[in-house]
Amino acid sequence: MIFALVVAGLLAGGLAAVTGFGIGSVLTPVLAAAAPTKIAVAAIAIPHFVGTLQRFWRLRRQVDRQVLLGFGIASAIGGLAGALAHTRVSSRGLGLVFGALLIIAGISELTGWMRRVHWARGAAWAAGALSGALGGLVGNQGGIRSAAMLGFQVPPAAFVATATAIGLFVDAARLPVYLATEHREIAARWPLVLAATIGVVLGTAIGTRVLGRLPQRAFRHVVAVVLLALGVYMAAVGGR
């Protein structure tokens, strides 16, 4: 399991460095094979935070501050609410809804519809709050956040940098809740958490070098395909 988490972390870190999301989406199912899903969501928040912080530091000059202040603050508030609800509700049914939203977003981008979308201020706040809340509940806020951010029409580096900064907001809101409520279970699995974190750090270092070589059209297609794949997976798992 330790080797599997290192490899999964490597892939997750590289994917997140290119698309702005993917660490929780890849690592949570892997750890869930050795721990209850609820514990896996909380534990993976640690390598998620480390990888997001590493990615932010490398891309910090590319952050779109206007998007960050509106969408990001709403995401952090939603993330805190979702993390609190995570301690009380089951997230299985949410996976189906979450997956459907990602599938719609991926198809919309590939067909060109998403490129005609431009978020108004109110819609940006609503999308940010929704993505953060889903992140707190099921540990996969990055996909729906990136799907919503496609409507801001920002360049690839700014897209990933801003999504990363928003991810830090959400992590800062939800991680203390997870640590307060699940610290014993997380500590009991510290070798697995450490293995995932090492993989994420290495993958992030590699992936950030690839990002600068992607033209915007290819970048958006990559994001759309990953959203589709993640959506199908989440819908399948959530429907069980």
Two tokens at 160? 């990933």
Among residues 2, 172, 191, 164, the alpha carbon closest in space to that of 67 is found at 164
What is the count of structural domains for the chain?
1
**pLDDT of 234 above 70:** no
How far apart CA 76 and CA 169 sit, in angstroms, is 5
pLDDT in tens, 125-148: 777 787 777 766 665 667 767 777
Which pTM was predicted? 0.74
Instruction: Name the residue range of residue 66's domain.
Output: 2-238
pLDDT in tens, 93-112: 666 666 776 787 677 767 76
The position carrying tokens 């099921």 is 138
Q: Which of 13-22, 111-120, 128-137 is predicted with the least confidence, judged by mean pLDDT?
A: 111-120
Over residues 199-208, the mean pLDDT reads 90
Among residues 137, 72, 110, the alpha carbon closest in space to that of 227 is found at 110
